Amino acid sequence: MQRVDATKPFAANLVVLPTIVEAQPRMLLRALTAGLPVITTKVSGLHSDCGAIWVESLNSAHLRSLIVHQLGTS
């Protein structure tokens, strides 16, 4: 596995992590710190005021609509 330098900016417009369990979402925290929009489920181990965009677990229609909206506005 190749290591990634966490000090370099992400080469992405959006970070999505639809998960059922995520105890320590370091990748999401790094993305938020870099100023990227993050879409994740409410069970991902983040506080509700962290700036992430929340989607209900197992709600693929809502997830899809959020992704389409975010990509359309980036």
Residue 32 in any domain: the answer is: yes
CA distance 69 to 4: 28
Residue 8 in any domain: the answer is: no
Residue 49 contacts by C-beta under 8 Å, 6 or more apart in sequence?
none
Reading the chain (74 residues) residue by residue, the pLDDT tens digits are 556 565 556 678 899 988 888 777 888 888 888 888 999 988 766 777 888 999 988 899 999 999 999 988 65
Residue type, 63: L
Residue 69 in any domain: the answer is: yes
Number of domains in the chain: 1
Token representation of residue 7: 């000090």
For residue 41, report the phi and psi dihedrals to the nearest 5 degrees. Answer: -85, 160
Q: Which domain holds residue 53?
A: 18-73
Residue 35 in any domain: the answer is: yes
